[in-house]
A = this chain, B = another copy of it.
Amino acid sequence: MSHVPLDPETARKVTSSLNYRFEIGGEPLVIAIAQDAENGDVLMTAFANEEAVYRTLTTGYAHYWSTSRREVWKKGEESGHVQRVVEVRVDCDKDAVLYVVEQEGGACHTGYRSCFYRRVTRDGSFEVVMDRVFNPDEVYR
């Protein structure tokens, strides 16, 4: 069962109650994490301003704030690898949100399902722990 989307008024009530306490480039933000609804894998993390959380809640698709481009972006807008949000969790002090999502394709622009596709090994190298699910050269042109 999906707990989103919310109607605009209800969504605004939720977004206005969050604590956008991380200011980066002058923008008040919360941390946003996407978790795979299928297997619990952490797919990616980024930031969200109030508008990004609002669009997530009202559309049912994950939106974030880009600290480099300084704009709200919909995940998968370009690649088609959207995230359908089935549940939004908030943390204890309301400065972080967890999007539980159905991930289309892969979350990572490098072609992996998750951006956290490498682990640190004892010798200090980064070991890839999953297979690519798409070819980034074909998806991002």
Interface residues of A (CB under 8 A from B): 3-4, 6, 10-11, 13-14, 22-24, 31, 33, 35, 39-42, 44-45, 57, 67, 87-93, 96, 98, 108-110, 112, 115-124, 126, 129
Whether B117 contacts A92 by the Cβ 8 Å rule is yes
Whether A124 contacts B31 by the Cβ 8 Å rule is no
Distance of A4 from chain B, by nearest CB (Å): 7
Q: How far is the CA of A96 from the CA of B88 in the complex (A)?
A: 21
Whether A10 contacts B87 by the Cβ 8 Å rule is no
Whether B124 contacts A109 by the Cβ 8 Å rule is no
Q: How far is the CA of A50 from the CA of B36 in the complex (A)?
A: 28
List 16 contacting pairs A-B, 8 Å CB cutoff, sorted by A: A6-B120, A6-B124, A13-B124, A14-B124, A22-B22, A22-B24, A33-B42, A42-B98, A57-B120, A87-B119, A89-B120, A90-B120, A91-B115, A92-B112, A92-B117, A93-B115
Q: Is the interface of A mostly helix, strand, loop or mixed?
A: mixed
List the 10 closest pairs (A to B, CB-CB), nearest first.
Answer: A40-B40, A10-B124, A89-B116, A91-B115, A88-B120, A13-B124, A92-B115, A98-B116, A45-B96, A14-B124
Closest to A10 in B: B124
Residues on B with beta carbons closer than 8 Å to the beta carbon of A122: 3-4, 6, 10
Residues on B with beta carbons closer than 8 Å to the beta carbon of A6: 120, 122, 124
Closest to A13 in B: B124
